[in-house]
Amino acid sequence: MDTLGRLAELYECSVSALLSDHYDFRHLDQAYQRRGSSGAPQPPGSIASPDTAMAVARGGHILKRPHLSPGLLEGLTAMTQTFRQMDYLSGARSVHGEVNAHLRRMLDLRDQGRTSATNRELLCATADVAQLAAWLAIDGQEYTTAKRHCRLALTVAEEAKDHGMHAYVLGVMSYISLHAGRGHDALKLLSAASEMATHAVPPAVRSWIAEARGEALALTGDQRAGLSSLHAAEVAFDKVTESTAPPWLAFYNSPVHAARLKGRCLVRLGHANAAIEVLNDSLRQLPPTYVRERGGTLIDLANALAQAGEIDEACRIAAQADELSRATSSQRNLRRLRELLVVLVPWNRSACVQELASRLLLS
């Protein structure tokens, strides 16, 4: 309601007018106009050019778009955060379309601020939406789309001179390689991110990149360097505060999120017992709103238990992860669960492994 109130103030109307379906302003939408004039819909997922003419026809008059006010930018940023929270709670599929439409709106507003400072804030906010769209695509295993969103985020972040976002997006791109098991490819991107993540970059970004680098090094078989990078991530995290963590990495100011990522890295490094301890502790503290992240953490724990030879418990935890992965429609987590079956092959005659396989492959 607070967000609706701010929007009502910006548009100089009542909150009830924003909620009413009596008003139809589709004629103000450029894509809707193109459909009306050409008879063909705009290609799905396409992004309007920032240089598109900023005028619409209504009632025989030409209405120019008003300048972007700081208040409107605040409202748009609040919408991004809402989409982010919805993604954590119900999965990428629940907000995929809305985030892409939100990104197109942000691009259409380019250079509409009254001051250069406002325009820079808009660029930073747009880069945030683009990288969020990339994460949503990654969760749906739409990696080509994810790369396209990442390239857009890099371009916008570079224009805004936002080095923290630039380094972070390189890290996001590395996760595409991490998920494919290509450690060397991930390391190339993370090395570039590390070079950019100087002391001027928030500690949360440097810590997050170092943790991802630890995972990549583990995939290449360099355990010593992987543990060293994990230690660097912990040292950098000691300097993370709520006030210094950027909004798009705000979750990383909580020790519980740093712990679950550390646990995942320890699993990749083959330190099963240490990983089990860290992951169990993070699961006890993880807020209930992070449903998909809980599912991913359970998968990491199941892998650690399998490494430790605790097969019955690994299957029980994997079954819990399966429920959450299906609830959030996380294709990424569902694939990780199927990959767990490969780890469990030596015990494929076990009743619990056979039951898990039936659950994952036949349902």
SS3 state at 13: coil
| Mean of the per-residue pLDDT values of the chain | 86
Any idea which of 114-118, 157-161, 290-294 has the lowest mean pLDDT? 114-118
**pLDDT above 90 for 1:** no
Which contiguous run of DSSP H or E holds residue 270? none
Q: Which residue has the tokens 């070079």?
A: 195
Q: Predicted confidence band at 363 (pLDDT cuts at 50, 70, 90)?
A: low
What pLDDT is recorded for position 299? Answer: 97
Exposed (0-12), middle (13-18) or buried (19+): which is 144, by Cβ within 10 Å? exposed
The alpha-carbon radius of gyration of the chain (Å, integer) is: 23
Closest CA to 153 of 107, 189, 114, 111: 107
100-151 tens-digit pLDDT: 999 999 999 988 888 899 999 999 999 999 999 999 999 999 999 999 999 9
Instruction: Considering only residues 20 and 215, tell me which one the structure prediction assigns the higher pLDDT.
Output: 215
- Written as one string, the DSSP assignment of 201-257 is S-HHHHHHHHHHHHHHHHHTT-HHHHHHHHHHHHHHHTT--TTTS-GGGGGGGSHHH
**Residue count of the chain:** 363
- Written as one string, the DSSP assignment of 273-331 is HHHHHHHHHHHHHS-TT-HHHHHHHHHHHHHHHHHTT-HHHHHHHHHHHHHHHHHTT-H
What pLDDT is recorded for position 250? Answer: 82
Instruction: Considering only residues 54 and 172, tell me which one the structure prediction assigns the higher pLDDT.
Output: 172
Instruction: Considering only residues 191 and 250, tell me which one the structure prediction assigns the higher pLDDT.
Output: 191
Q: Which residue has the tokens 């995290």?
A: 237
- Helices 163-179 and 116-139 meet at what angle, rounded to 10? 10
Q: What is the arithmetic mean of pLDDT over 83-102?
A: 94
Determine the Cα–Cα distance for residues 360 and 252; give it in Å rounded to an integer. 31
On whether the CB atoms of residues 119 and 149 are closer than 8 A, the answer is no
**pLDDT above 90 for 222:** yes
Q: Structure tokens of 213?
A: 């680098």
**pLDDT above 90 for 65:** no
Q: What is the arithmetic mean of pLDDT over 75-93?
A: 94
**pLDDT above 60 for 51:** no
What pLDDT is recorded for position 21? Answer: 47
Q: Which residue has the tokens 């309007």?
A: 48
Q: What is the arithmetic mean of pLDDT over 306-323?
A: 97
Q: Which residue has the tokens 């919805």?
A: 86
258-268 tens-digit pLDDT: 999 999 999 99
**pLDDT above 60 for 74:** yes
What pLDDT is recorded for position 70? Answer: 76
Q: Predicted confidence band at 39 (pLDDT cuts at 50, 70, 90)?
A: very low
Determine the Cα–Cα distance for residues 201 and 245; give it in Å rounded to an integer. 10
- Written as one string, the DSSP assignment of 30-69 is HHHHHHHHHSSPPPTT----TTS--EEEETTEEEEPPPBP
Dmax over CA atoms of the chain, in Å, equals: 75
Q: What is the arithmetic mean of pLDDT over 71-76?
A: 90
What pLDDT is recorded for position 8? Answer: 65
Determine the Cα–Cα distance for residues 138 and 145; give it in Å rounded to an integer. 8
Q: Structure tokens of 287?
A: 């807020």
Determine the Cα–Cα distance for residues 269 and 271; give it in Å rounded to an integer. 6
